[in-house]
């Protein structure tokens, strides 16, 4: 459609920008192992084909994928249709021989449904040209839960072992492995398993980079209904004691994430598939859209290295363009990279600052202080300043100075005092740009 008024940013521009911004994530995810659990509820929704397309795209981008599917609502429906009674103890189904028949039928049907969806390749679909082998088999070895508190759980089982090497061989060949909540014991019996336990056990055994749990309406909020974006396993554990997280299925999903993150899986993500494209947004945008349980804080403040040059240039470019900062070439930045400190968030540089010491004058210049606009007002600027103040003290500097045209008040609030150009070390005075007319501020350390 054409209109009289041209929009300054077209859809195509947005798409190009989005695609460019996603390239660091494409590089970061290639060759990584993700265990993705699709809960039984999601398998019933009309959003499933779109989700399968997104998983096919991950496979095409070189992610080593192991899928785990749930089957709880499908099993419940079959048990009910067969006129059997569903019995639960401790949120766990007691599976007798008759119920096991329904479990195997439900799981078999779901496996075939997923095989069908992964085989789609119509010319007008996103999976055109994608040939993906979805491999399922006896990858999960089970053992019986047995008798607990006087209840015999019969054919309800637990994960005994994951056939790691067999799974690795498949994903190494580019195949997608599908695990079901059903496992065989070495005696040849079948056991009904908890899909979340299969997913977390597989992620731990495979030393996966991520466990991703996809649920229908799966949200982990704080008391005021705001999404909790990042939790440590300890924080997740504290939530699990709360009443509002003790309901099925969120308690099992959060428990699985917590268990995986506590046992070597770097990141466990909980995503609500009610939001279209949740998986893509979580994996290819800076902030994602779900809750991540991780032991490592995914924001770090550290000294810059040579391979950070690209990220720093990207952060500084808009500020150089609008004149807030003085332009620096890539060569200059490469030579001075050891002067920079930065804040890295999920592999991206979101803040930086540099310290240029003048040891003879016992003074240092603070420069290039910048925080990405999305991440301002959370004291990141302050953290960078403190870090460089510490560095300056270690180098026996007694003062810091800064030249600024627009950020005077921020520096004043951090303890810098206005000063004249004559307060600068002689070497720096000679380079002072009178046309730029920056204000000088000095802070004693």
Ligand X SMILES: CC(C)(COP(=O)(O)OP(=O)(O)OC[C@H]1O[C@@H](n2cnc3c(N)ncnc32)[C@H](O)[C@@H]1OP(=O)(O)O)[C@@H](O)C(=O)NCCC(=O)NCCS
What is the contact surface with ligand X in residues (CB under 6 A)? 319, 324-325, 369-371, 376-382, 402, 404, 406-407, 409-410
Shortest reach from residue 74's CB to ligand X, in Å:
49
Q: How far apart are CA 106 and CA 391, in angstroms?
A: 62
Q: How far is C-alpha 308 from the geometric centre of its chain's CA atoms?
A: 20
Identity of the residue, 329 or 377, whose beta carbon is nearer to ligand X in the bound complex: 377
Shortest reach from residue 413's CB to ligand X, in Å:
7
Shortest reach from residue 20's CB to ligand X, in Å:
22
Shortest reach from residue 408's CB to ligand X, in Å:
7
Identity of the residue, 276 or 321, whose beta carbon is nearer to ligand X in the bound complex: 321
Q: How far apart are CA 308 and CA 314, in angstroms?
A: 10
CA angle 335, 336, 338 (to 5 degrees): 115
Shortest reach from residue 24's CB to ligand X, in Å:
21
Contact yes or no for 43/70 (Cβ under 8 A): yes
Identity of the residue, 34 or 411, whose beta carbon is nearer to ligand X in the bound complex: 411
Identity of the residue, 270 or 370, whose beta carbon is nearer to ligand X in the bound complex: 370
Identity of the residue, 217 or 318, whose beta carbon is nearer to ligand X in the bound complex: 318
Identity of the residue, 207 or 382, whose beta carbon is nearer to ligand X in the bound complex: 382
φ/ψ of residue 234, rounded to 5: -65, -45
**How much is the CA Rg of the chain, to the nearest whole Å?**
28
Query: β-strands 176-179, 140-144: how paired?
Result: unpaired
Contact yes or no for 35/263 (Cβ under 8 A): no
Q: How far apart are CA 273 and CA 290, in angstroms?
A: 10
Q: How far apart are CA 185 and CA 376, in angstroms?
A: 55
Q: How far apart are CA 224 and CA 45, in angstroms?
A: 28
- When CB distances to ligand X are compared, the closest residue is 381
Shortest reach from residue 436's CB to ligand X, in Å:
11
């Amino acid at each position: 459609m054409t209109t009289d008024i041209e929009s300054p940013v077209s859809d195509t521009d947005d798409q190009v920008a989005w695609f460019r911004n996603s390239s660091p994530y494409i590089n970061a995810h290639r060759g990584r192992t993700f265990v993705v659990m699709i809960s039984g509820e999601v398998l019933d929704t009309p959003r499933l084909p779109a989700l399968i397309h997104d998983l096919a795209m991950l496979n095409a981008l070189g992610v080593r994928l192991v899928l785990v599917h749930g089957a709880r609502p499908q099993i419940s429906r079959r048990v009910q249709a067969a006129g059997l009674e569903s019995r639960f103890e401790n949120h766990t189904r007691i599976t007798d021989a008759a119920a096991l028949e329904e479990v195997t039928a439900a799981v078999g049907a779901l496996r075939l449904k997923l095989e069908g969806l992964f085989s789609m390749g119509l010319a007008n679909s996103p999976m055109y040209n994608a040939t993906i082998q979805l491999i399922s088999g006896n990858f999960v070895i089970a053992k019986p839960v047995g008798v607990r508190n006087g209840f015999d759980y019969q054919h309800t089982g637990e994960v005994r072992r994951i056939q790691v090497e067999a799974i690795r061989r498949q994903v190494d060949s580019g195949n997608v492995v599908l695990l079901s909540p059903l496992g065989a014991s070495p005696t040849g019996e079948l056991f009904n398993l908890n899909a979340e336990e299969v997913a977390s056990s597989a992620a731990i055994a495979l030393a996966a980079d991520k466990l991703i749990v996809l649920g229908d309406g799966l949200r982990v909020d704080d008391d005021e209904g705001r999404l909790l974006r990042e939790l440590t396993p300890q924080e997740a554990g504290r939530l699990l004691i709360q009443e509002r997280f003790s309901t099925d299925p969120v308690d099992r999903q959060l428990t699985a994430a917590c268990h995986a993150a506590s046992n070597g899986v770097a990141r466990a993500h909980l995503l609500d598939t009610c939001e279209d494209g949740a998986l893509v947004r979580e994996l290819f945008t800076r902030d994602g859209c779900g809750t991540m349980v991780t032991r490592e804080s995914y924001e770090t403040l550290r000294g810059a290295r040579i391979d950070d040059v690209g990220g720093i240039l990207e952060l500084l470019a808009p500020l150089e363009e609008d004149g807030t900062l003085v332009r620096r070439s890539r060569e200059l930045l490469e030579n001075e990279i050891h002067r920079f400190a930065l804040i890295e968030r999920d592999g991206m540089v979101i803040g930086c600052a540099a310290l240029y010491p003048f040891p003879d004058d016992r003074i240092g210049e603070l420069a290039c202080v910048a925080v990405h606009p999305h991440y301002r007002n959370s004291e990141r600027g302050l953290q960078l300043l403190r870090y460089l103040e510490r560095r300056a003290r270690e180098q026996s500097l007694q003062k810091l100075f800064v030249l600024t045209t627009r950020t005077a008040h921020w520096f004043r609030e951090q303890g810098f005092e206005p000063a004249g150009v004559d307060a600068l070390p002689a070497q720096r005075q000679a380079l002072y740009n009178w046309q730029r007319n920056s204000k000088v501020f000095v802070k004693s350390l």
